[in-house]
Amino acid sequence: MAGRTVRVGGLPADLPPDRVADKLTIHFLRSRNGGGEIADVQVLPGAQACALITFEALEVAQRILKAKNHVLSIGGKEYPLEVTSHVAELNPDEVARSGPLLPA
């Protein structure tokens, strides 16, 4: 999945996450928006709601990141989206150390 996932911010906080996910899917499937086939959409709720969208192909994610002015239209309102590349956070428990620890 590395490189195929983008983070989308600027989502409407007043709509159900499943409706937002549907609208994002439609927006990012359209070729005129630089989109293409989508593998997964996850809407992460919170004060600064965002979504993680994983595309089937790396090239689609790269096109999405290059495209400017993504705007999501829902119910007559427009929401400017902030699209950035997603970098997975490393879990400290999953990071393996190599070699012995050196004294400080």
Q: Where are the domains of the chain?
A: 5-85
The reported pLDDT for the residue numbered 95 is 45
CA distance 89 to 86: 9
Between 97 and 68, the higher pLDDT residue: 68
Task: Tell the CATH topology of 5-85.
Answer: Alpha-Beta Plaits (3.30.70)
pLDDT band of 2, cuts 50, 70, 90: low
Burial of 35 (0-12, 13-18, 19+ CB in 10 A): buried
The reported pLDDT for the residue numbered 75 is 87
What are 10-66's pLDDT values in tens digits?
A: 998 888 999 999 999 999 999 999 999 999 999 997 778 899 999 999 999 999 999
pLDDT band of 99, cuts 50, 70, 90: very low
What are 63-84's pLDDT values in tens digits?
A: 999 988 899 998 899 999 999 9
Q: Of 24, 33, 29, which Cα lies nearest the Cα of 64?
A: 33
